Amino acid sequence: MLWPSVLAALGLSILCSLGVWQLQRAEWKGALLDRVGQAVEAAPVPLAQALRAPDPAYAHVRLQGRFLHGEERYVFTSRDRVPGVLVFTPFVPDGQEEGQPVILVNRGFVPEPLRNPEVRQEGQVPAPATVTGILRPGESSGLFVPDPQERTRTAYAIDLEVLAGLGEVSVRTDWFVEADESPVPGGLPRGRDPATIVASIPNNHLSYAATWFSLALVLAGVYVAWHIREGRLGRAA
């Protein structure tokens, strides 16, 4: 009965390896969250300075320049069970060379009935504009995310490649800026406190590790029970 033992040993090895890997991921994610928390609490730096860093993710940045309000794009979402969109507006920093891709700014949440910029003209901040927020990478749309609606310039994930295709102006596809909760004329769009970004980053690796180790214990228990049932364990001498 060699093969059952070989398969059980292989299964235990794989499950325990996955558990250890998740423990390592938990340590990595904890370090990332600490770094993000420190970056959020730091004073904002100019965007160009942040982008020169080896890893600028989650840097606290400040931009000065102008919004291209006619090029708004939207990401469908909800806040407190209220459906709406996140407003992503291209922003041209002062001093940027002509023809270079501009950066998208997630200006914040707008309830669906107020999506049309014509009904929130006060919030269409004129130049010169100043934005402070967090520099973030985009997300992947994934297999089950609906296709974007080109007519309404609406995406269903913060996928920068997708958002780049929903307008005429060339935008960066590596980073965007999530604007903070600084007041906006008229109150819309509504940004969010950068500190909440840390809380929104999931860290479930310890629970994943517990799952893999639990499965390993179950497999070991099944293996032992099978041997007992077959009379290979617990025999009288």
Q: Specify the amino acid at residue 44.
A: P
Asked if 198 and 36 touch (Cβ cutoff 8 Å), the reply is yes
Asked if 60 and 47 touch (Cβ cutoff 8 Å), the reply is no
Q: Report residue 187: phi and psi, to 5°.
A: 85, -5
Closest to 2 (Cα-Cα) out of 217, 235, 232? 232
Average pLDDT, the chain: 87
Of 60-64, 80-84, 109-113, 139-143, which range is least confident? 139-143
18 & 107 share domain: no
Q: Is 147 strand, coil or helix? A: coil
Asked if 139 and 161 touch (Cβ cutoff 8 Å), the reply is no
Instruction: Report if residue 69 sits inside a domain.
Output: yes
145 & 96 share domain: yes
Q: To which H or E segment does residue 146 belong?
A: none
| Per-residue pLDDT tens over the stretch 180-230 | 988 888 889 998 887 777 777 778 888 998 999 999 899 888 888 877 777
Instruction: Report if residue 2 sits inside a domain.
Output: no
**Per-residue pLDDT at 233:** 62
**Per-residue pLDDT at 237:** 47
Rounded Cα–Cα distance for residues 21 and 28 (Å)? 11
145 & 190 share domain: yes
**Per-residue pLDDT at 37:** 79
Instruction: Report if residue 1 sits inside a domain.
Output: no
Q: Angle at the Cα of 63 (from 135 to 199), degrees rounded to 5? A: 30
Which residues, listed in sequence order, are joined to residue 96 by a DSSP beta bridge? none
Of 78-87, 108-117, 152-161, 185-194, which range is least confident? 185-194
173 & 63 share domain: yes
112 & 216 share domain: no
Helix, strand, coil shares, percent, the chain, to 5: 40, 25, 35
Considering the entire predicted model, what is its pTM?
A: 0.79
What separation in angstroms does the CA of 90 have from each of 15, 42, 103, 125, 209? 46, 25, 6, 13, 41
Print burial letters for 189-206: b (CB count within 10 Å at least 16), e (below 16).
Answer: bbbbebeebbeeeeeebe
91 & 144 share domain: yes
Q: Which pair of structure tokens corresponds to residue 48?
A: 């160009």
228 & 187 share domain: no
Closest to 100 (Cα-Cα) out of 57, 151, 48, 149? 48
Residue numbers of the domain that contains 37: 7-41+204-237
| Per-residue pLDDT tens over the stretch 135-180 | 999 888 777 888 899 999 999 999 999 999 999 999 999 999 999 9
Q: To which H or E segment does residue 9 belong?
A: helix 2-41
106 & 222 share domain: no
Total H helices, total E strands in the chain: 5, 8
Closest to 93 (Cα-Cα) out of 23, 146, 136, 45? 45
